[in-house]
Amino acid sequence: MKVNDPNMKTAYIAVGSNLGDKLNNCFKAIGLADKISGCSVEKKSGFYRTEPVGVEDQDWYVNAVISMRTGIQARDLLKGLLAIEAGMGRIRDKKWESRPIDLDILLFGQDVINEKDLTIPHPRMHLRRFVLVPMAELVPDLIHPVLNETMAELLDGISGEGQMVIPLVEV
């Protein structure tokens, strides 16, 4: 499958970790995502140290966003990402617990999918600075397919209170 195939879509994936060597966990997951059959990582945002949202008593995260060209279905991409998480030691016991890696499909082309275990666009992406800061870095003018606002506009519209995002300097 050629990366320039017109049938391919661009997917945006949130990458995060708050256990172990967080930055290296993110790099490893991005490398593994690039090996999913029918997919190719195109770009990645910078990495950010981010305050946990919705929970207390957790270490801060390292977060980024990657864009991927893909010719596979969203459900197959999800299966590949879940396999990476499991292979890196993620156990899904309860919502929003600490994790060595978290990979979420944010957008899949302009598709809108609303199924039991797959919702695209990600239903909370427009509320989270740790998603919108790297999204606005990568594609500030990309329009959210449901909310009809750009990533930059969405970022401008949310409060930073309780959602600190600090750029990491890569060495």
Active site (catalytic) residues: 90, 99, 102, 104
- Rounded to 5 degrees, φ, ψ at 82 are -65, -35
d(CA 78, CA 47): 22
Dihedral angle of Cα 115, 63, 23, 26, to the nearest 10 degrees:
20
Tokens of 73: 């279905």
Q: Is residue 149 helix, strand or coil?
A: coil
CB 127 within 8 A of CB 158: yes
Dihedral angle of Cα 58, 15, 92, 118, to the nearest 10 degrees:
130
Place of tokens 């990476």: 84
